[in-house]
Amino acid sequence: MSDDGVGVKVIHHLSEEYRFPPDVTLLDGGTLGLDLLPHIEGIDRLLIVDAIETGGAPGTLARLAGDEIPVVMETKLSPHQMGLKDLLAVAMLRGFSPPEMVLVGIQPENIDLGMELSAKVSARFNELIQMVIRELENWGIGVAPVDKASLRNP
């Protein structure tokens, strides 16, 4: 759904362009909803990347943490956000919510059917990537760009 797919595009970009320590999992949660429950059980930190309704102009970047996250899910953009809200609620009820959760996101311009990001979201895509990297680095997680020259010249 166009801009609603920004989180998936961020995960794919990070997977292709950066290397992470073995204890970091990049996961395209898409519309998996409660099927993600085993993936968050026992983790200390959860970083979510998504299109979110901020009430701001298209392309507005946002960072929410802890208790702020369920509130933003009240105004859902798509069915997958309801799944995320349910996932976090069930994890909390079962007693294994990650102690630290952060959501970085962007206000969509277009959520019609389509594979491409809108111009306003595309224009801020690299900034969103950098927000994710900064968040991970603030957690002490080293993020290293892929050395593409070494991949071409074995």
**60-118 pLDDT, tens digit each:** 999 999 888 765 565 554 444 556 777 777 888 888 888 999 999 999 999 888 889 99
User: In this structure, what are the phi and psi dihedrals at residue 4, rounded to the nearest 5 degrees?
Assistant: -65, -15
Domain assignment present for 152? no
Domain assignment present for 153? no
Domain assignment present for 74? yes
Domain assignment present for 15? yes
132 sits in which H/E element: helix 119-138
Range of the domain at 114: 2-147
Which residue in 51, 45, 44 sits closest to 128, CA to CA? 51
Number of domains in the chain: 1
User: In this structure, what are the phi and psi dihedrals at residue 30, rounded to the nearest 5 degrees?
Assistant: 40, -120
Average pLDDT over residues 17-28: 93
The CATH number linked to 20 is 3.40.50.1450
Domain assignment present for 127? yes
Alpha-carbon gap, residue 102 to 100, rounded angstroms: 7
